[in-house]
Structure 1
Amino acid sequence: MKPVRRPPAPCLRLQANADNRFTLRQGSPPHRATTGGATGGTVTTSPLTWALSVVGAAAVGALSYTHWLAPRVAEEAPSVAVASTAQRAPGPRVPTTLAVAADYRGHYIVHPSVDNYRIKMMVDTGASIVALTASDARALGIRDDASARKVMLSTANGTVTGFRTVLREIRLGEIVIRNVDAVVLPERALSMSLLGNSFLSKLLGYEVQTGRMVLRG
């Protein structure tokens, strides 16, 4: 019996213009992703840039290479396993390879330790910055105070205000990445925190394969 291919679900995009205002809207899926990271490769996923070179996006999906964020995210998480230790020339970090299995929707769900607090996140190659839900930010002790750099977000429900922050450390298995740019979205603007390219770009590389994502850090 020939398998039936479902059409891609609509995604949500976070757009910014020159005056630092953002629009969260439905958009078309990004292009096919291959590999990315500090060692090269390309990810043609249509990320959207900030005026200050800090970019936010909220696009996830159900295609074979790029994955879209559903309105409601189920609680099931796939298994995460350390696959192997890569061999390379000595350097400041010991390389390791982490393989993340896709769940039944084609999403890559992980549970990294963020500033020593474990949270549930979706790996999103279409999000150019790590995006935190308001509840995850509170659990991490991140507060929206006068020193926070504010950003305006226009959603289907109106304009809301978020803010930018820097996460001291994200630890995923044996991979540790420090000083990661992030944005905190207001209540109900995001159903799950996103592990975007402000984290992925600091890896040695990553690759999206059929049914799994391989991270090299």
Structure 2
Amino acid sequence: MRTFVVVCTIGFLSVTAFQKLRERTRSDPAAPASAAATTPVPDGAVAGVALQAGRNGHFFVNALMDGRALSMMVDTGASSCAFSEEDAERIGIRVRAGDFSRVWNTANGTVRVAPIRIAVLQVGSIIVRDVDAVVIPRGRLSTSLLGMSFLKRLRDFTVSGGTMTLRG
């Protein structure tokens, strides 16, 4: 019985210590992408952003496109960054019906897309220039996607537990 009590006590203390460490890490002002957006990166340093998974397990970022903010879901399965037509309009990107000139295969079937290029796409302290992207027609995409046309230009990105780390 004494051994059982000791094992339970050690387990309880371990879980408590882990939770406190996790809370401390989450409350670190340098960790969120939105706080990192205003932190300058010294010359020669690697810009980095840590993202926490949402309840559904997906990672979201607050990105800036040419200075305009937009929430996007990180999608390593998307070959390119993809914007809903509604989000594109919100950040000042206008496309006409004739601009939907390419056919894309998606998880939801094929769709015509409008290819675009984002001059400056910033996530936290990470800045990538001239990012290829597409606009998906109105009503076909509920959340804009931060895809591989941005991610492959990073030094690296990793996922460990519920944290994704992007390094510029």
Q: TM-score, normalised by structure 1?
A: 0.54
Say whether the 8 Å CA contact 1:144–1:163 is kept in structure 2: yes
Say whether the 8 Å CA contact 1:148–1:165 is kept in structure 2: no
Deviation sequence 1:50-88 (CA, Å, 0-9, x none) = xxxxxxxxxxxxxxxxxxxxxxxxxxxxx5465xx999x
Give the secondary-structure state (helix, strand or coil) at the position aligned to 2:94.
coil
1:161 to 112, 133, 140: 112
Please name the residue that 1:179 is paired with: 130
Shift of 1:141: 2.2
For the residues of structure 2 that align with 1:177 and 1:156, how far apart are their CA atoms? 27
1:102-181 map, 5 Å: 102-145=53-96, 148=99, 150-153=101-104, 160-181=111-132
Letter in 1 for 2:87: D
Cα separation, partners in 2 of 1:159 and 1:200, compared to 1, 3 Å: closer
Say what the alpha-carbon RMSD is for the aligned residues: 2.9
Structure 2: 5+ residue stretches without partners? 1-31
Say whether the 8 Å CA contact 1:130–1:181 is kept in structure 2: yes
For the residues of structure 2 that align with 1:164 and 1:116, how far apart are their CA atoms? 20
Letter in 1 for 2:71: K
Shift of 1:144: 2.0
How many aligned positions are there? 134
Letter in 2 for 1:208: V
For the residues of structure 1 that align with 2:89 and 2:74, how far apart are their CA atoms? 21
Say whether the 8 Å CA contact 1:149–1:165 is kept in structure 2: no
1:85-100 map, 5 Å: 94-100=45-51
Name the % identity: 41
Shift of 1:95: 1.1
1:180-199 map, 5 Å: 180-199=131-150
Cα separation, partners in 2 of 1:210 and 1:186, compared to 1, 3 Å: same
Deviation sequence 1:20-51 (CA, Å, 0-9, x none) = xxxxxxxxxxxxxxxxxxxxxxxxxxxxxxxx
Please name the residue that 1:211 is paired with: 162
Deviation sequence 1:97-123 (CA, Å, 0-9, x none) = 210000111110111111111001001
Letter in 2 for 1:135: E
Higher normalized helix content (fraction of residues) = 2
- 151-160 or 200-209, larger mean C-alpha shift: 151-160
Give the secondary-structure state (helix, strand or coil) at the position aligned to 2:153.
coil
Say whether the 8 Å CA contact 2:69–2:91 is kept in structure 1: no
Letter in 2 for 1:167: I
Letter in 2 for 1:130: C
Cα separation, partners in 2 of 1:160 and 1:149, compared to 1, 3 Å: closer
- 171-180 or 158-167, larger mean C-alpha shift: 158-167
* Larger RCO of the pair (alpha carbons < 8 Å, separation 6+): 2
